[in-house]
Structures are given as structure tokens and as C-alpha cells.
Structure 1
Amino acid sequence: MHAQPTGQTSAIEQILADVHRRTLGRRDGELADYIPELGKVAPDPYGIAIATLGGKLHCIGDVDVPFTIQSISKALTFCMALELLGREDVFARVGVEPSGDAFNAIEFDPVSRRPYNPMVNAGAITVAGMLRDALGGNAFEILLERFSLAAGRALELDEAVYRSEAASGHRNRAIGHLLLSVGALREPVDPVLDLYFRQCAIQVTARDLALIGATIANMGENPVSGTQVFDVDAVRDTLAVMFTCGMYDYSGNWAYDVGVPAKSGVGGGIIGVVNRQLGIGTFSPRLDAKGNSVRGVCGFRMLSDELGLHAFDPTNRGSALVDSFLAR
């Protein structure tokens, strides 16, 4: 099942159209050409999609153009690891502190000798190792099925991007072997890295990201299909780490300016989650120096301002459950 676009122009669609128009002219930023296949993508597509907890979808622009999920997958695999292994086992191997470093930094917490958080490559590779330990050789198929349930449709691997990442991912291989040396990974390392490369190469659209975000916002239940995709407690912990660590070493500024738990990917996507309200997906491939979509960041800033989405905005009243308590 898919969330259905509304049949008439609503206030939110007018805001979307205005935000898209005002940010469409941005042409700065670069493609992620350190992965050769990503350097070949068309640079100009730009789409914004919002999915509500009622299953309504509001879209503008190129929301059906496929791209690879890349680091946005880290939030979903972290959520899965929390469910499968529990907080104690997960946090024994990966922390939850912002690193302040680039997403592909080869650096661990000097005290714990763990990756700083699961949203940087070192932490996400550690999580991939945990999932492979728990799920075995079918880990990718199980992961892909879970991602598909969140998106409300069958997602697929982009074979060309996967092969490109696997062929050029020498830095991630170095991270993997360093993780093995500090006990964060178990042997063999190569199947773990293969799982990581595959999860990053799953194809999605901005429309998919909006519905995945709405699933997370709805405490793990897909608002269209009604399927419980993620565990409620795991969703809470995942949202917290997305809020503090999800936008690479721009995360502090993002929390200040936008105030929405989010995760970006070098494929050009950004997913945002307004708890108990909305899921937001954007796609535009040109990236800033920190690896975030230039138009996506600008669009999210404007949407947060226009719709009052910042977590600490006094006009953001949150869920009906909160309102019911306030009314007592």
C-alpha cells in the first residue's frame, strides 16, 4: 500500500511549493564522486515529500526519482540492532555521543575504545557486525524486508552502486579491521563490510523516505499498512541519536536551526521525523562540505520555520496524547 496524495491543494502543499521554488535555484555543492557510481548521477533532481500519521502524502518536485539510501540506512539498522540485542549489548560496542568529526573519520572514543555513535561509518559498520552475528547469512534479506515494510513497498538493491562502493570502499575496510583490533567486530570482517555496502546501496525515493519517517514518527507503525515495523522502545532511542548525531558534524547546528531528528546520506537524501506528527523526505544530490544535501538542508530549515516543527518551538504542540493531558 502507498500513502495517497491529497486531491486538493492544501495549506501544507502551498508551503511545500513555496519552499521548493525558493530553494530550487541553489546550484552549489558537489556530487559524492568518491563513490564512482554516485559521481555519475544527474545533479538537478529535487523533491520534497511529507507523510502524515493519517497516511496522507504531500509532494512537490522529483519525489519518485530513485537514489541510494546510503547513511540514512544507519538509523534503521541501529533501530533493528536495539530490538534484536537490547540496549546493553548494543551500547557495549557503540556509543551515543556526537563525534564532531567527519562521518568517515578513523577515530574512536579514547576511553571506551568504541565508535562514538552509530551514525558515523565506524559505528554503522559495528552495527552491521551485530546484525550479521544475530541474523547470519540472511542478514541483508531480513534488513531489506524491514526497510520495505517501513516504506510500504518492496525496495531493491542498486547493483551498480553496490559494486562501486565495494570496489572503492578502502577506507571503510580500514575502519572494519581497526574495529576488529579493538574488539568491536568479530571475524570474519569481509561479510560485515559486504552487508554494510549493500545496506547503503538500497534504492529509495523521497516519497519512500517520507513514509519511513512517518512510520518512525508513528512509534514504529506504518501509518498506511498498519504494520508494526519497529519496536517502540528502539524507536525512542533511535530518534534521540538521530537528533544529536544524524547530520554528521553539522548535527549541532541542525538541532539549533531545524530542531527535528534527521539523518542524511551522501546519495542526496535527508529523512526527518517530527515525533507523533510527520515524516519528511527530501532528495537533491549536490552535497555541502559536510556531506549533506545543500537544497535538502535549506528546505528543511524553511519547513521547520513555516510549519513550526522545531522540537522547542512553542507552537509545536506535539501529539493528541499530549494535548489530552494538557486539557485535564
Structure 2
Amino acid sequence: MQELLDNLVKINLPLTHKGKVANYIPALARADIDNLGVCVIDMSGNSYASGDYRTLFTIQSISKTISFMLALLDTGEEKVFTKVGMEATGDRFNSIYKLETADVSKPLNPMINAGAIAVCSLIKGRNGEEKFERLLNLFKKITGNKELKVNEEVYRSERETGNKNRAMAYLLKDMGILEENPEEILNVYFKQCSIEVSCVDIAKIGLLLANEGRLPFTGEEIASKRIARIIKTFMVTCGMYDASGEFAIEVGIPAKSGVGGGIMASVPHKMGIGAYGPSLDNKGNSVGAWGILEGLSAELNLSIF
């Protein structure tokens, strides 16, 4: 495995210059385009890593899987799906226009920004700070990393430039989806996206989902098998933005990407994978991390299809 990962990082490193780092969030524009790393953790606790796997990056949209998990735990499946749908969009992750169409009464799924903002409102807490603290504590428990924290510079950058997300939140308030102060919910969302992680951290998230909601090494249930399966299904249908269908065909592993450059993948009953490369394609997915996952899936026959 180690030799395979080393080789995949080497082969895919040139791809990083075929993409661009995210620049619509100013603090992300300074990422090193040549960074590329991967971590694989299997059910027995064996961990393999290569490249820049220790490099910290902000989790961004990968966080949507865990905020969605917490909303389901707090509020229940029935309530959650009155606020957000189950269907893929085929649109950009930050698209807003379908919220204004006559036949759409809620965001189409929890992996697009509008859906993730709606999900944040379903997390229990007396205010936004308490909601976020509960979410951050869940991340710490899943990863076993008590040092997880918000990158304050990225958070401020997100908050100051997130005009489209702000527009979504106020539209959701007008639609009756958000029942609380939009600014308070946006603050939760901006903070969750700004949590700093490494490939190891997101591999552990993937491993939890691969083990159907249980921490593999203690057996503790964090979420039910049903919730874990719902999340993995959304990862397949919506997790790679509007390239989810292509990724399902070419890689075939439930995965969630983020514009910070990370891709978290979960191979059911086998392993969790975290890959990172800040150079993105035109749909917001890491070109290098995608290449690593595609090669890994092909070599180890990991496709679930």
C-alpha cells in the first residue's frame, strides 16, 4: 500500500498545474498549488500516508456530511427532509436560481450550499455559538483530534465575501425554511467550513462512515447505520458537485470534496481515505486528489458498483 500511495502522489503531482486554487475566498488563494497528499486508514487500524498529508487545509464542503449527520441526530429524518430534499441538482454547488422556481419549495439536497445552510438551522443550540460548539465537538470525537479549530483568517474571509451565501440564507428565511436569524445561521456555516484539518482527519471521517456510523476501534456508535447510509448515498449522488456522476463512473467510491482542496472518501466496510491538493478543476474538485482516488480505486478494485 505504501508503495502504491507514493507512486500515485508522484504520478498525479503534475496534474496540479492543470487547475487553479480557489480565489473567490481570498484567504484560500495563497495555498501552495504543488501540495498533494493522501492518507488511507483501514478497518484494522492500519494507516498509510504519502506526500503532503500533514498539511492543514480548511475542510469547506466536506463539513456538510457531519453537520447533516448532527441535524439528523438532533431533529430526526422526517423533520430534516421537510427543510431539504434528496435529489441531485446538476448545477453549481453555489447556485441559487432553482430556489426561485415555482416547483421548488426547499433546497434540493444537503450537499449544495443552500441545503447546507438550511441544515445548520436544524442543529440544536440556544444560539449560533452553541450550535457550532456542538458541531466542532462532534468533529473532534470522530477524528480523535482535540486540537481541531477554526482558521480565523479563512472564517473572516468567508464572512466578508460570502454575499451569495448570505443571499441564499435570506431567501431561505423568506421561504420559511430558516426559522432563525439568517446571520446567526450563516455564522455557523462559515465557521464549519473554516475548520482546519489534514488528510488524516478526513480519512477518519470516511472510516466512520465506512463502518456504518461506529468508531472502528472502540465500537462506539456515533450515528445509526441508517444515517451513515443516507450520508454515503448523498456523497455518491451529490458529493462531487456537478461532477458526481462522472466521479461515480470513473472512481465509484462515495466521496465529498471541498474547495479547500480536500476529498474525503469512504469505502464501505474497508477504509476511509483523505486526499488533498488545492489545485481545483472548473467544478471545484481537486485535480490531484481526484487522480489519486481514481488510481487507488483502479488498483484495489474499490468501486462499489
Q: TM-score range by the shorter chain?
A: over 0.9
Structure of larger gyration radius: 1
* Stretch deviating more after TM superposition (89-98 or 15-24): 15-24
Which residue matches 2:182? 189
Which residue matches 2:90? 100
**Structure 2 contact 9–292 (Cα < 8 Å) conserved:** yes
| RMSD, aligned α-carbons | 1.2
Q: 1:22 aligns with which of 8, 11, 25?
A: 11
Letter in 2 for 1:127: V
Matched, 1:275 2:268: yes
Letter in 2 for 1:199: Q
Letter in 2 for 1:298: G
Q: 1:213 aligns with which of 192, 206, 210?
A: 206
Q: Deviations over 1:75-95 (max 9, x none)?
A: 111111112111111111101
Q: 2:304 aligns with which of 272, 289, 311?
A: 311
**Structure 1 contact 149–227 (Cα < 8 Å) conserved:** no
Which residue matches 2:27? 37
* Stretch deviating more after TM superposition (13-22 or 269-278): 13-22
* Stretch deviating more after TM superposition (36-45 or 162-171): 36-45
Which residue matches 2:44? 54
Which residue matches 1:85? 75
Q: Which runs of 5+ in 2 are unaligned?
A: none
Give distance in 1, aligned partners of 2:160 and 2:223: 32
Which residue matches 1:136? 126
Matched, 1:127 2:143: no
Q: 1:255 aligns with which of 248, 261, 284?
A: 248
Give distance in 1, aligned partners of 2:210 and 2:3: 23
Q: CA deviation at 1:225?
A: 4.7
Give distance in 1, aligned partners of 2:212 and 2:271: 11
> What is the TM-score with the length of structure 1 in the denominator?
0.89
Q: CA deviation at 1:226?
A: 4.2
Matched, 1:118 2:110: yes
Letter in 1 for 2:187: D
Letter in 2 for 1:122: A
Which residue matches 1:7? none
Q: Deviations over 1:141-189 (max 9, x none)?
A: 1100101111111111111110110011011000101111111111311
**Structure 1 contact 149–222 (Cα < 8 Å) conserved:** no
| Percent identity of paired positions between Structure 1 and Structure 2 | 42
Which residue matches 1:151? 143
Secondary structure at the aligned position of 1:254 is classed as helix
Letter in 2 for 1:286: S
**Structure 2 contact 74–122 (Cα < 8 Å) conserved:** no
Give distance in 2, aligned partners of 1:100 and 1:88: 25
Q: CA deviation at 1:240?
A: 0.8
Q: Which runs of 5+ in 1 are unaligned?
A: 1-11, 313-328
**Structure 1 contact 218–275 (Cα < 8 Å) conserved:** yes
Q: Deviations over 1:203-230 (max 9, x none)?
A: 1001111111111111222224544322
Give distance in 1, aligned partners of 2:51 and 2:175: 46
